[in-house]
Amino acid sequence: MDIWEKLQAVEQNFFAVEQQLQSTARALPDPIFVIDEFGKYLDVIGGQERSLYHSGKFLKGKHLHEVLPENLADTFMQTISAAIADNSLKIIEYQLNPDGITGSPPDSSKKNQWFEGRVYPIKDRANEVHSVIWLSLNITETKNLEERLQELSEMDTLTGAYNRRHFMQIFDQAFSIAKRYKTKLSVLHIDIDKFKEINEKYGHDAGDAVLKEFVIFCKDNLRQSDLFARYGGVEFIVLLQNTPSLGAAIIAERFRARIEEMSVTYEKQTIHFTISIGISQALDNDTSSTAVISRADIALYQAKKKGRNQIEIS
């Protein structure tokens, strides 16, 4: 084989490798965008997984601000500029609705998708960096799972009420805000009276039904700004923002009276129950949120000591 034949063989091999690389790139399930320093789409590669992505071919030759919402386009440009300036990988998470992309085909199945963008600068033939490759990964399922796990970490699994941990996180913040701006804040500490007797007479499943119905009642009858949680066992707690103790007492008495009239039906059994409520308002000299809860707990104890089915203010 002479030198000419060898050169032809090398050229053919190079062409075959190039074709293979192009075919592989086009078959990638996740899209790769080549974007220059001015925000122009130079090329769109891959993105063949149609269950996750629309075709992005229509983006080629267009600028970020032509196709994306302004705020998102600005964020993309900042990320691209930072990647080029630092000559390093940048990772960004963003939410995108396909309907918000100018020129994208409408698709109701792909609303509010989450993506992770991996942005890395690339050199041109002059060995200078003027563009980036942007690998887009659809992370919607992961984000949805994270949100669900977050919800589960905040909720009581039996009743669907917030749990004590979540309540304390929010209450600590609300207490600090009330202290700073000198607004009123009150707490209701609620206990279901003689719940042990309900379990013994009707069974634990019936007791669970009572708890669930009680939670539904409270959620339906509290304001959107109020925070309701299961504090432990058959004790529940309510944060009433912008509410002095007198207003809290009115709410508490309304709850007590309506629960007394209420009944829960479980397997053809009608169950009546009552509640006791302790009320406390945050005071100017309180140094922590626990002081407010402690007084509400004392008030609840007094309500139960006086015969239950009543409210008491501390």
Domain match, 205 and 306 both: yes
User: For residues 162, 165, 168 and 170, what is the CA-based torsion angle, rounded to 10 degrees?
Assistant: -60
Say how many CA atoms lie within 13 Å of 82 toward its Cβ: 12
pLDDT at 22 over 70: no
Strands 113-123 and 129-138: antiparallel
pLDDT at 50 over 50: no
Q: Of 22-36, 149-163, 175-189, where does mean pLDDT reach its minimum?
A: 22-36
Angle, CA of 117, 123 and 129, to the nearest 5°: 80
List the alpha helices (DSSP H) in 182-237.
Answer: 195-202, 204-221
Domain match, 79 and 213 both: no
Q: What domain range includes position 243?
A: 155-313
CA distance 229 to 236: 6
Domain match, 112 and 223 both: no
Using left for φ > 0, alpha for ψ between -120 and 50, and beta otherwise, residue 86 falls in: alpha
Confidence of residue 199 (pLDDT cuts 50, 70, 90): very high
Q: Of 55-69, 184-198, 226-240, 289-303, where does mean pLDDT reach its minimum?
A: 55-69
- Please tell me the total count of domains within the chain: 2
Q: Is 233 helix (H, G, I), strand (E, B) or coil?
A: coil
Mean pLDDT across the chain:
87
Q: Of 13-17, 79-83, 167-171, 184-188, where does mean pLDDT reach its minimum?
A: 13-17
Q: Of 28-42, 217-231, 242-256, where does mean pLDDT reach its minimum?
A: 28-42
Query: What is the length of the chain?
Result: 314
Instruction: Pick the last residue of a domain from 146, 174, 201.
Output: 146
Q: Of 25-29, 158-162, 298-302, where does mean pLDDT reach its minimum?
A: 25-29
Domain match, 210 and 80 both: no
pLDDT at 160 over 80: yes
Domain match, 163 and 299 both: yes
Residue environment code for 41-50, b if the CB has 16+ CB neighbours within 10 A, otherwise e: bebbbbbeee
Residue environment code for 22-37, b if the CB has 16+ CB neighbours within 10 A, otherwise e: eeeeeeeebbbbbbeb
Q: pLDDT tens, 104-132? A: 666 555 578 899 999 999 988 788 889 99
- Output the pLDDT for position 17: 44
Residue among 63, 22, 21 nearest 41 (CA)? 63
pTM over 0.75: no
Angle, CA of 109, 113 and 116, to the nearest 5°: 145
Domain match, 211 and 249 both: yes
Q: pLDDT tens, 241-281? A: 999 999 999 999 999 999 999 999 999 899 999 999 999 99
CATH number for 202:
3.30.70.270
CA distance 145 to 132: 30
